[in-house]
Every structure is written in C-alpha cells, then in structure tokens.
Structure 1
Amino acid sequence: MDLLKNFKLVENGDGYELIIYFEPGSTDVEFAGELGKLKDSGESLPQNLIDDIRKKFPDKKINSVKLMLGTVLLSSFMLGLPISAQAAEPSGKTAQTQSAYNYNVNVSINGKTMTFQDKPLIYNNITYVPVSEFGKALGAKVWWNGESKTVGIEGNGSSIAFVRGSVSARVNGVQKAMPASLSIGGTTYAPLRFIAENLGYKVTLDSSAKTVDVSAGANIYTVSSGDSLWKISSKTGQSVDSIKHANKLASDTIYPGQKLTIPNAGTASSTPPSPSVAAPAPAKASSPAPATAAAKTKWPDTTYIVQPGDTAASISKKFGRPAQDILKYNYMSSEEWFEAGDKIAISGYAPRANTVSPGQDTSPARHGTAVDWVLEGQYLVKRNSTFTVVDVETGKQFRGKMLGGYNHIDIEPLTASDTAAMKSLFGSWKWSPRPVVIYINGMNLAASLSGMPHGADTVDNAVSGHFDLYMKNSTSHSATTSASYIQEHAAAVKKASG
C-alpha cells in the first residue's frame, strides 16, 4: 500500500511538514482511519510508514505529518525525523536541516581513535554512536529483536536493553531514563555516554581535539560462596585495602551474590601481599549460608510474595526493615530486581543449600547434580545468565539465556543457530520434556527442557517465545498446569542426574 501517492511538503521552522492526502472512497482511507486512531491512543506512526518517509525524503527533515481526507484533517503526528546520514551534501535552505547531525566528533577507546563504518555524530548536544559497531569495539555482545524493535548490549558484567526510539532502558533489569536512540539509514544509534558508563566505562571529553574518550573503568566481581576478600585479592591482583576502599567496606564482611567494584591496577592504593606471606584467615561472611547451608531449609517467620512494581525500597517501607537487609536476606545485590510472584524472606535469611561449587567441573557433561531449585538452583542461574545446555540422550549442545521465571527457568536459545540445534532435539516443537544438563560457571546441573515456545521473548533467535526449563522441585508459574506435566519434568531431571 503506497500511502505517499498524493502529498505536499510545507516548510516548517528548520524542516518540513508532510501532508498526505486521501481521496474519499479510496482503498487507503480505511487504513488512514486506523492511523488516526493511533493518535487518540497516544501511539506514534508505525515504523514501516516512518521508514517509507525516510526513503521518500532522504534529504529532508520531516517535523510533522498530517493525514487529510479531502479537506478534513484526520490526524496529525509530530515526527522530528532528521535526514539520512547517507544523504548527499545539500545546499541553500536544506543545508540548515543537515546541521541537525554534526559529524565533527571522534571516538577513542582506551586512547585509540576508532574508525566506524557508520560515523558517530552529535545530535541535540549528545554524542551518538552506532550501537553494533560501538558494542563490538568494546568487546560486548550486541543483539537485536526485529519483532519488538529491541536492542541489547551485554558486556563487562552488565546488560542494557531498550526499544528503539524509547526514552528509557533496562540496565541489569532496572529501568533508567535514556536519551532517545536514533535510526539512521537502518542503523541504530544510541547515546555514547549512557551506553559506556552503564557498561562500567569512563567517558571523558577533549573539546580541543573534538574527541570523546572511552576508557576501561573498574571491573565488577560477584562474590561466590566461600569467597573472602583475601581470595578475591589473589584472583584480581588488587589489595584487600584497595577493594575495601573502592566499595566503602567498614569491615571484611562480604556475602554470596554481592557485587564488588575491583579498581584498575593504576588506581590501587597498595599491592597484594607476596605469595610468601601467610594468608590471613578467611573473612567471616555476613550471610550464614556457607556455614549452615545444609541445615538452612526453613523460611523465617516473616515472608512476602512480590507484587508487580515492588522494589527493595518499597518493600523496606512496607515492613519497616532496611532495604539492604532485605537484599542480604535473599542473597541479592542492589543491582538485581524482584520479580512479581517471587517468595522472599523479610525477617531472616531465605532457605539455601550449597551442594555444588563454581569451578568444580571443567567441561559440559551428559549428567549433572540434581540441585533443589528453591534452595539452591535459583541462586546459581539468575535472570540474564547465559549457559550451555547438553541433551542427555544425544550429547548435542546449544547455548541458552534465562529470560526470567521464579518457579522455574524461562529460557531462550541465544541465537538462530542455537534455536536450530534445540529444535533438532525435539523434531518439532512440543511440550514433552527432555532430560538435559545446564553447564554454568563450571557446574553441571541436572534439568528438564520442554520444547514448546510460548509467551514473551527478548532475543532475535528465529523463534517467537521462550521455553520451560525445570530443575529439582521446580513447579509451574500457573496453578492450572497439569500435575502430569510437572511430573514429566521431575522424571527427566532424575534421569539427567544419572
């Protein structure tokens, strides 16, 4: 359907107003009416129409669009579409609209000036970079979901996801305001500072050289069961004092799941002790889980089922307990977020077991340890975790990512090739589960995977929806799920454990 058959461009400020005319009785009128309804519901023009406008007027800045039925105004939309980055250098009046994009900016990473196929630019005094090229230059993974128009960047222990054109993004699951991204010639541009700083990098501006420099910031370390500051010091090459200083720790107390900032070598306040110096006794963790894990199977007196929109702060206010304690009692860091339906501990530590340890296995295997989902599994596989899935019967493998879930894992294959590998196990998509092993952080965990896509998805992987992945004592998210389906998963987990 060509909606741009009859139109007129009218100069409007620093750009143009596009007026699209529809003739009474034409086949396009019904669709035009649907576009008019979008305005009433607060929505914007469909992306395909926006793309058509860009293609039709590659050298014009379209500020607004009017839809006219004869002399009757159906609706109008503010657009503010800058001209294409690939447009030829214009002259005269149009040259003023070209200045909406300023390409007179350089980007360097750790002191090295980068060359991108799609040039960085300044728009509204904000430096923008092509997401895919910039992410790869940082060594991050960049993904795109064409159906939901969602962009994702994962690296340096952090993840960012946003819908193209939105003024907010999810950073490690937490929503943050973000300058709107741009789409220029099919390339998605995002604000450099927002992306870099939320991935843990430092951003500085050299105005004289017109260069924005991105340099490695501090690394983030997630505390594991059995860790002490001494062990972390030995692993990272940074002194205990420098780690305590970077994280404003008043004591040596740390707990599993806590995220620690590890300073760069150049910012360390002192060096770690020589290997010949005797190591101090491991620091006592503030979470009692490592010491009492086997016996910690009961919930405290006060618990709570998370409701939509709940945060640590709101739950803290509701129960009159410090937010940090609520996070600590549930083995969570301040960067993690609660999911509606989760059962959490309020007056003491949640039940937890420790039957496996990170790094105990060196490679994926066809049998794994059956760990209890509630007591242990949910702390080992968390939202946005990536891992290898091994099919017990065939030994075939594919990579997966945890989308979410509280009673079991909602999993997505990581790429289209991973989806193909997974589908080859089932032949065709079906609910019947298969015994599998999850290999994550050097641990092989027994599990059960069903093969029917359903519900939400976030990854561009050639399948719409996610899949159920159960561990020992996992249950359904829905009270209407049949007992036989849950039992099938339990039997598959048992088989996966050998």
Structure 2
Amino acid sequence: MNGIKSYHLIKEGGNYVLVVQLNQIDTEFANEYGETDDLRKKRFYDDIKTHIEEKFPNMKIPLFKIMVGSLLVATIPLASGTTSLASTPTTQATSTIEYKVMSGDSLWKISQKFGVTVSEIKALNSLISDTIFLNEVLKIPNVSNQYIPYKVQAGDTLFKISQLYGTDVLKIKSINNLTSDTIFIGQTLMIVGQTTTSSTEAAGTYSVIPGDTLFKISNKVNVTVDQLKKLNNLQTDTIYAGQVLNLSTVSTGQPTITYKDYQIKSGDNLWNLSVEWGIPQSELMLVNGLNENSILKIGQIIRIPIHHIPVKETLGVRYGEQLDWWTEAQYVLPINKVAKITDFQTGKTFTIKRTIGANHADSEPLTYVDTEIAKSIWGGFSWQVRPIIVEVDGRKIAASMSYMPHGVQYITNNQFNGHFDVHFLNSTRHNDGQVDTTHQNAIKMSAGITGV
C-alpha cells in the first residue's frame, strides 16, 4: 500500500495491536489529521483495512495505531475485534474516560497521571498542538479499564468511597484534581481499585461496575432480579456504573450488627469517624471502651459497628416503613445524609440534610429553594406537626416533621436560620427525653396505621 513504511504487531493488555508506520511523505497528512476531510480519511482507512485483511486474515486485532516516527497520529478501533473496520471511522479508543482540565495541567502531567502517552491523548482528541484550556473536557484512554467511574450518591464521602474500592482518599483526590473533600450528588469520580466483598456486604449495598447487569449481580449476591428491582424501585433493567444498589432483604426480622476493624490514620478523631461510618459517637466509644477524653494513636485498631437494617413491608406504595429510631431509623438516616421529603397530605417534595441530633433527626433544608417549598406547605415557619415520607437510598420511611427554625445551623446559604425536627417511631424530644405524642400520631398516619 502506498504510504506505509512498515508495520508490526505488538501486544498490549493481552490483545494484539497493529502498529502502522507511515512514510515521512505522509507527515503532512499526520499534521493535518484533525482537519482532514471525512472522505480522505475514509479512503485512508479503507486502504489500511484492505492491507490488514490481506496480511492478517481472520486474526483478532481489536485496534491499530498509525505512527509517523515517534508521533502517534491515531488509535483506531476495529468494529468487532476482527479485521474489519466500523463503517464510520473514529479515533476514539475502545475504552475511554473523560477528564476536565484543571489549573496548572499540561498534557504531560495528565499523561503521567493516567499512564498514557501525550500522543495518545492528542490523537484521541484531535489536538494538533499541546495547548489545552481550563475546564476543557478531554477523552483519556482507559488503559486496561483500570479506572472505574463512580457516581456519587446521597450520603457518600471520599472516605466511604475509598473504603468501598480498597483505595485511599488522597489517591481519589489526585486522580480527580480535588482540592478539598467536598463532593456532590451526581458527580462522577474516576476510581482506581475494585469493590471489596467485605465493604459491599458490610454496607448491605452493591456498587455497579462497568459490564454489570441485573442478572450478573443477582448471581453474585444470590438474590433474584425481581428482588433487586423491588428493593431499588427499578422500573426497568437499566443500571449504570457507580450506581449503588440496596441488597437488604425485605424482612420483618430484627436488625443485626457486624463489626469491622479500622486502623487509625493521621487526622482521625472519634466524632469524624462516627459521622463517616454513620453511627452515634457514643456507640463508637462504648464498643471500644473509650470516652471523650480518649486519645487515638496512629496505627491503633478500633472496631466499627455496621448496622444491617432489613427492609420492612409497607401497607401500600403511598406509605412508609415504620422504623424504630434507636435501632433502625438513625442508621438509615445518619448525620450528613441527604433525603427527599414528601408531605403526606399535599404530595409536595423538597430536599433536606440531617445535620445533627441524637434523640431525633435535626435537619435543614438543603437549598433556599427547598426552604421556600417547605414554607409553602406549612404556610411559613411553624411548630405544626405534619406526617411525611422520608426517601433515602431507595427506601421510604414513615416520619413526622415540624418546620420552625431553632438551635444550631450548619447550612448557611438556605435562608433558614437553624434546624427543624424530624421524628421517627419512638424518637424523643431533646429537652426532656420524652416521646412526643403528636409526632408519633403523625408517624402512624404516614405508615398507614391510622387515617389522616
């Protein structure tokens, strides 16, 4: 074929890759590759296709690379892993991830971070120079599929995600150019690692990885597809990488507790650890024979209680599970957990975050918009108690709520100066430790036990 200087097979990640070296006379084509018209590209691809089929008939070659000297011009996937090309050629690698350019980035820094070459990044993004721009989104070859996309869920922290994938917070921050530990619901993080069986079982959840289907997962965790769909309110079989599925079995049984060993790291303290693991600080201290004056030492091993809260049957789709605050609800809605609230009587919804509270869930509107929606339901700020449904991690829980701002405030930009009270079955008031009858009656309404 005219223009080919040489070709040879190499092996990358267990697959054969054909490297096609062009003559120097085709350097102009290489330099102008990103601007070459589609017709010329197609003719070029057709020539290479014919060449490959003649030289390597029926050989499984998933992609080939076009080179001029040491310059990688393009990485081209084959449509079916055999020597036939897709009808519409593309320079996108068979597996890629997206990366948003941050301040201080260069193609070389990005290539080192992801273990690829600068030429591969340039070819994949049709770059004709090394110039990149802040916030530009680049496609990066996912070498051996080592990077797992994870979609941040309500209640996630970098620490929890690192434990789930057997990696560490600093590595996640470095890969994703995070300058703080703040992450957002729906944000996609690239993770190096794999889900650990112990973390998945301990949490009673499963994090979907690329290639998963409900059928595959059902075989892994020994439940049926129908059970998975019911537990996670799935209307179809569609799932996505990073999605966290609830594995708790529908049951009327009692909650159970298992324990996980944790090694103290620099910066750890009892309060932060209790929040990270979704348990009361008092429980963490009791399990480990500690008190508020105890000093944690780096390398020290402590026990973390993991609570497994079975899903309970409800009286209908409109109603919520009736979960005891002390043994169930406070672990489903731990501190820093974000939840959707549905007013039982009007059907209006808004979002809250539990920010503090031991006897019940002291919570705050997540945003100013949520503050205004709740005000429209209560007619302003009010101590009036209303039945509500708390939706968290695919579960619906019967609860009650008043909407008067008071006490400490953690969210400062929601136009709500303080927090409000959310009660669950058997939760109590802070001031006297007594059960509030009005709240308990409202909880029965949202559970469908009594009429509205």
TM-score of the aligned structures, taking structure 1 as reference length: 0.39
More strand by share: 1
Which of the pair is proportionally richer in helix?
2
